[in-house]
Amino acid sequence: MIRGVRAGLGAAVGVAASAALDEVAPGLAGLAGDVQLERVAELLAVRGAQVAADAANSGVGTLYRYSLTKNVTVPGGVSSLASQFLNTPITNCTRIADGIVHLRLVPYATNGFPLFYNGFNTNATFRTNTGYFTGAQVRNTTARNSLAEQVDTYFMSNAVPAFVELELGILEPRTFERFKALGAANPAAQRLYLSNHVAQVHLFRQRIPVRNVDYSAYQ
């Protein structure tokens, strides 16, 4: 994972990033229902992980968007979405942006603190304002740590995040074209080139409010 931040954004990069955020943000902010939100937020991250796996040798991938309808009354209906998404042919997905080197989605509680797995309870937990070590659980959620500093969170019934923070790292178009010119058959050279061009990676972060949040799930 490579991260870089630059104050001056090139026009081409700005347009590419804006297009990517315009594709993702409205879906997260405007969807009605816990299933759609969980589907977009979690599975977009999963697709990002798959793209990273597809380009594991080089570290650069493509961001895709995918949607499907699922019956949540069927046991395992929600939790099986991720595995189904991973097995979906890439031709069934909509291409959003190339040159992606970082993708992360973080759900937040109504008080602005991120949701996390506390290591004991199955529900997602968030810090309260009463103390640093004081936490409250979100109803109708499950959470677990599959990767360090990354929480897999499932939202069911009336539970949805109050906010979702989208973090996207994009390689500049010209740098990306030179990166591709090295050839996929030479991943070591691609990785070396990428590590020497961290300054050409632009990191975008946006916190998106979820308008249909039910505050009773956090009480």
- pLDDT at 142 (0 to 100): 87
Q: What is the pLDDT of residues 84-97, one digit of tens each?
A: 777 888 888 888 88
Least confident residue range of 3-17, 110-124, 194-208: 3-17
Helix (H, G, I), strand (E, B) or coil at 163: strand
Q: What is the pLDDT of residues 37-93, one digit of tens each?
A: 344 434 444 444 444 444 555 788 888 887 777 776 776 666 677 777 778 888 888
Q: What is the pLDDT of residues 2-16, one digit of tens each?
A: 333 222 222 223 333
Cα 33 to Cα 70: distance, rounded to the nearest angstrom = 12
- pLDDT at 78 (0 to 100): 66
- pLDDT at 56 (0 to 100): 53
- pLDDT at 193 (0 to 100): 93
CA distances from 79 to 9, 132, 149 (A): 38, 31, 20
- pLDDT at 63 (0 to 100): 85
Cα 116 to Cα 123: distance, rounded to the nearest angstrom = 9
Complete DSSP assignment for 125-148: EEE-TT-TT-EEEPTTEEEEEEET
- pLDDT at 218 (0 to 100): 94
Residues making up the chain, counted from first to last = 219
- pLDDT at 135 (0 to 100): 83
- pLDDT at 19 (0 to 100): 40
At residue 115 the predicted structure's pLDDT band, cuts being 50, 70 and 90, is very high
**For residues 171-176, average pLDDT:** 93
**For residues 177-206, average pLDDT:** 91
Does residue 170 surpass a pLDDT of 80? yes
Domain range summary for the chain, segments of one domain joined by +: 11-107+165-218
Residue 79 has a CB neighbour count (10 Å cut-off) of: 14
pLDDT above 70: percentage of residues in the chain: 68
Q: Which two tokens stand for residue 188?
A: 């070591």
Cα 104 to Cα 169: distance, rounded to the nearest angstrom = 9
Here the contacts of 191-197 (C-beta below 8 Å, separation 24 or greater) are 191/57, 191/58, 191/59, 194/2, 194/58, 194/59, 194/60, 194/101, 195/2, 197/171
Taking all residues of the chain, what is their mean pLDDT, rounded to a whole number?
Answer: 73
At residue 25 the predicted structure's pLDDT band, cuts being 50, 70 and 90, is very low
Q: What beta strand segments (E) does the chain contain?
A: 61-65, 94-108, 115-116, 125-127, 135-137, 141-147, 150-155, 163-171, 201-209
Cα 45 to Cα 146: distance, rounded to the nearest angstrom = 13
Considering only residues 52 and 216, tell me which one the structure prediction assigns the higher pLDDT: 216
- CB of 206 closer than 8 Å to CB of 12: no
- pLDDT at 196 (0 to 100): 93
- pLDDT at 130 (0 to 100): 64
**For residues 192-197, average pLDDT:** 92
